[in-house]
């Protein structure tokens, strides 16, 4: 069976507090914490997505005591890649000296990390020894800095997991879903082949957008469904639930609908905001360090696509 052998995370050094968002009127800056539970976030300064991801992977390998040359595969989950091509994973591979692996990206927005863990699990079952999963996002560079509805609520960071044949937590189960009828709910409208840059009529189309009410309803419904499903199938009550760090009100509603005591929901979005696909792995790294006695851990994620997913980790 595949296991989580080690975890790590990296947050850029630059801390941006709500009071630093001076492009917005002061009366609105006070609402950010109340509306989403966010007080600070990190912004990459002179770093791109592969730089941030590489720092997390370097920490992971050092922590695990595994040589970069022993890694068989590297999967990067990102929805804010360095470039349309090549894969961001290949630059992380080069930066970290992972010479003997194959490397590729997946993009399932904020659900990407769990999708990547599922792929890593399959690769280990197929005979690979070590697979690195890194979820890395630099959302500050795909957001419109003038958009009060999005810019204050996102941050940058990376989380990484080493999956192998033994380890601290067994990867017991996954559930993966998507619904393409909601493909336009969360998107960056331009810069791809659907709307090349030369066809852009409004520069706002170059930036991340979402339909807030639809996202809230979707996240609360699907995020709680995943938890109820895992609990029912496995007959366990999680010691810790690690949700995608989207919004404190979403997390509280998921807890209520899934009948999870709020104290079991791990959160760190007050410090990092929504780091997209990286959020659940950053939270996993922090939670397992703070709560080493947790035996049953559920992950629940949701994002663009629309996509949602979950995972059950059991202490070995």
Active site members: 110, 244, 274
**167, 121 in Cβ contact below 8 A?**
no
Q: Contact, 188 vs 144, CB < 8 A?
A: no
Q: Are 27 and 171 in contact (CB under 8 A)?
A: no
Q: If you ran DSSP here, which 8-state letter would residue 75 be given?
A: E
- Cβ–Cβ < 8 Å for 302, 219: yes
Q: Phi first, then psi: what are they for 77, rounded to 5°?
A: -95, 120
CA nearest neighbour of 218 among 188, 247, 261 = 247
Burial 245-270 (b: 16+ CB within 10 A, else e): bbbbebbebbbeebebeeebbbbbbe
- The pair of structure tokens assigned to 174 is 């996954």
Confirm if 308 and 111 have CB atoms less than 8 A apart: yes
Half-sphere exposure of 50 (CA within 13 A, CB side): 20
CB atoms within 10 A of CB 86: 13
- DSSP class of residue 8 equals E
For residue 188, the tally of other CB atoms under 10 A from its CB is 17
CA distance 281 to 279: 6
Q: How far is CA 130 from the centre of its chain?
A: 21
Place of tokens 């659900």: 111
Contacts of residue 203, Cβ cutoff 8 Å, sequence gap at least 6:
none
């Amino acid at each position: 069976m595949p296991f989580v052998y080690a975890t790590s995370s990296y947050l850029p050094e630059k801390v941006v507090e709500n009071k630093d968002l001076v492009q917005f009127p002061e009366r609105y800056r006070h609402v950010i914490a109340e509306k989403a539970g966010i007080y600070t976030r990190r912004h990459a300064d002179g770093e791109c997505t592969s730089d941030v991801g590489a720092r997390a992977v370097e920490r992971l390998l050092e922590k695990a005591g595994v040589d970069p040359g022993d890694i068989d595969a590297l999967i990067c989950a990102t929805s804010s890649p360095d470039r349309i091509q090549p894969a961001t994973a290949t630059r992380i591979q080069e930066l970290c000296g992972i010479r003997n692996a194959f490397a590729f990206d997946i993009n399932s927005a904020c659900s990407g990390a769990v999708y990547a863990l599922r792929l890593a699990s399959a690769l280990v079952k197929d005979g690979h020894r070590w697979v690195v999963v890194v979820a890395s996002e630099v959302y500050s560079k795909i957001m419109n800095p003038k958009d009060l509805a999005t810019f204050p609520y996102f941050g940058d960071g990376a989380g990484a997991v080493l999956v192998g044949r033994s380890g601290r937590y067994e990867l017991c189960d996954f559930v993966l879903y998507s619904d393409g009828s909601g493909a336009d709910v969360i998107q960056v409208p331009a810069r791809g082949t659907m709307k090349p840059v030369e066809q852009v009529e409004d520069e706002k189309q170059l930036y991340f957008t979402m339909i807030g009410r639809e996202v809230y309803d979707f996240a609360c419904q699907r995020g709680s469904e995943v938890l109820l499903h895992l609990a029912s199938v496995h007959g366990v009550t999680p010691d810790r639930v690690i949700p995608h760090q989207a919004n404190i009100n979403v997390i509280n509603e998921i807890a209520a609908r899934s009948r999870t005591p709020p104290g079991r929901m791990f959160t760190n979005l007050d410090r990092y905001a929504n780091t997209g696909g990286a959020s659940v792995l950053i939270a996993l790294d922090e939670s397992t360090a703070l709560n080493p006695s947790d035996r049953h851990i559920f992950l629940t994620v949701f994002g663009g696509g629309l996509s949602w997913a979950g995972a059950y980790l059991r202490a070995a």
